[in-house]
Amino acid sequence: MKEFKLENEPKIVSGFKTPEHYFDNFSAKVFDKINEEEKEVKVIPFYRRKKTFTWLAAAMVVSALIIPIVNNYNATSNELDETTLENYLSYQSNLNQYDLIQTLDTKDIQELNNNVALENETLEDILSSNPNIERLITE
Amino acid sequence: MIDEKEFIQQLLNPKTQNTAFQKLLSDYQKPLYSHIRNIVLNHDDADDVLQNTFVKVFQYLKNFKGESKLFSWMYRIATNEALTFLNQKAKLNGITSEDLQNKTIDNLKADVYFDGDDIQIKLQKAIVTLPEKQQLVFKMKYFEELKYEEIAEILGTSVGALKASYHHAVKKIEIYVTTN
């Protein structure tokens, strides 16, 4: 078979043709398309702004819904600190007096002293009316 | 021909923009059409890609830094558009880009906008077997008759590398045509 050499051959043209007058109205087509795209581009900011409003409204609804929840949460947690905790400790836990005493430090004891600044008379009353006085003393 | 910087200014100025862009279109529509047609092979696709190319050129003109020539910048956009188009079309049909091109070449004989005989078809079939870069270099050098310096600017490679690419491409094509 004869070896094919590109440079020995007459120039091979691509053979691609265009429809007649194709280039005559090509620029008009391009200008139309550019105008079309520009219209679309103008629509985008409006659409985006609309979207921003939607997001803004959604955010406001969510925060409005959250406010009572947050308030409630704070209120309940305060109550937990006080009475609920006390009740729980005295009635439902396995903690006894010794356990509680163990956790006290000197500062706590001082505070307790201040709180229980009982007058002598009251103290006597309590002691005399308490049938378990001996047990209390030995403890 | 007026200074390129001045021409770009005219393209960016809203008052002169339309006239300047009209000139850009009439100067470049034919060479860019050939460039794109050589890549996508069929007229309707080339028409689509060429329109998109000019729309992109118009939209991106304000970002054109003047680091390269307007000519090579536009060729680059056209090349990217054409290659992206081919890949998307191949993906849509679930075949490789090479298979798609082979199919298009088989259909060329029936294409009213193709005036070629067996040797043209064979040459196109040989080109498809080359790597993408060699295909581009061969088409730009052989069919479009661009200078190496111009191709180098468009593809962002050195003239030396291009010459080597073209040489390899020619060798492979000659072997293909001889044996097929």
A85 domain residue, yes or no? yes
Average pLDDT estimate for A120-130: 75
- Do A74 and A100 lie in one domain? The reply is no
Question: Quick one: fold of B116-180?
Answer: Arc Repressor Mutant, subunit A (1.10.10)
- At A114 the pLDDT is 76
Q: With H, G, I as helix, E, B as strand and everything else as coil, classify residue B16.
A: coil
Average pLDDT estimate for A126-132: 72
Q: With H, G, I as helix, E, B as strand and everything else as coil, classify residue B74.
A: helix
- At B172 the pLDDT is 94
pLDDT of A134 > 80? The answer is no
Size of the A and B interface in Cβ pairs below 8 Å: 74
Distance CA B180, CA B175 (A): 8
- Contact of B82 with B47, CB cutoff 8 Å: no
- Do A41 and A70 lie in one domain? The reply is yes
Distance CA B35, CA B56 (A): 16
Distance CA B105, CA B102 (A): 5
Q: With H, G, I as helix, E, B as strand and everything else as coil, classify residue A117.
A: coil
CA dist list (Å): A122 to A116, A125, A126, B32, B80: 11, 5, 6, 109, 98
CA atoms lying within 13 Å on the CB side of residue A84: 7
Average pLDDT estimate for A30-46: 75
Provide the whole-model pTM. 0.67
- Do A63 and A127 lie in one domain? The reply is no
- Do A26 and A87 lie in one domain? The reply is yes
Q: Which of B65-74, B86-95, B143-152 has the lowest mean pLDDT?
A: B65-74
Q: Residues of B numbered 109-138 whose beta carbons fall under 8 angstroms of chain A's beta carbons: which are they?
A: 113-116, 119-120, 123
- Do A103 and A139 lie in one domain? The reply is yes
Backbone angles phi, psi at B170, to 5 degrees: -60, -45
Bigger pLDDT: B41 vs B67? B41
Q: Dump strand ranges (E) for chain A.
A: none
- At A67 the pLDDT is 86
Residue indicated by tokens 């200014």: B9
Q: Which amino acid is at A104?
A: L
CA atoms lying within 13 Å on the CB side of residue B119: 11
Q: Within chain A, how many helices (H) and strands (E) appear? A: 6, 0
- At B163 the pLDDT is 95
A26 domain residue, yes or no? yes
pLDDT band for A76, please (50, 70, 90 cuts): low
Question: Which of A13, A14, A25 to mutate against chain B (most B CBs within 10 Å)?
Answer: A14
- At A113 the pLDDT is 76
pLDDT band for B3, please (50, 70, 90 cuts): confident
pLDDT of A133 > 80? The answer is no
- How far does B93 lie from chain A, in Å, by closest CA? 24
Sign of the Cα pseudo-torsion (A77, A78, A79, A84, in order):
positive
Q: Determine the structural domain holding residue A52 and report its residue range.
A: 21-93
- Do A67 and A104 lie in one domain? The reply is no
Distance CA B95, CA B84 (A): 15
- Do A116 and A134 lie in one domain? The reply is yes
Specify burial of residue A27 (Cβ count, 10 A radius: 0-12, 13-18, 19+).
middle
- At B14 the pLDDT is 87
- Tokens (6 digits) for A119: 């007058």
A67 domain residue, yes or no? yes
- At A80 the pLDDT is 65
A117 domain residue, yes or no? yes
- Do A37 and A67 lie in one domain? The reply is yes
Bigger pLDDT: A89 vs A46? A89
Residues of chain B with CATH 1.10.1740.10: 1-115
A121 domain residue, yes or no? yes
- Do A58 and A109 lie in one domain? The reply is no
- Do A28 and A88 lie in one domain? The reply is yes
A100 domain residue, yes or no? yes
- At A125 the pLDDT is 79
DSSP H helices, chain A, are 26-79, 85-87, 97-103, 106-115, 120-129, 133-138
Instruction: Please write the tens of the pLDDT for every residue from B22-65.
Output: 999 999 999 999 999 999 999 999 999 999 999 999 999 888 87
- At A46 the pLDDT is 56
Residues of chain B with CATH 1.10.10.10: 116-180
Residues in B closer than 8 angstroms to A15, CB to CB, are 114-116, 120
Residue contact A13–B123, C-beta within 8 A: no
- Do A37 and A78 lie in one domain? The reply is yes
- At A91 the pLDDT is 75
- Do A35 and A63 lie in one domain? The reply is yes
* Domain boundaries B1-115, corresponding CATH code: 1.10.1740.10
Bigger pLDDT: A116 vs B73? B73
Backbone angles phi, psi at B114, to 5 degrees: -130, 125
- How far does B135 lie from chain A, in Å, by closest CA? 14
Instruction: Please write the tens of the pLDDT for every residue from B114-161.
Output: 888 888 899 999 999 999 999 999 999 999 999 999 999 999 999 999
- At A96 the pLDDT is 72
- Contact of A40 with B43, CB cutoff 8 Å: no
Q: Please count the structural domains in chain A.
A: 2
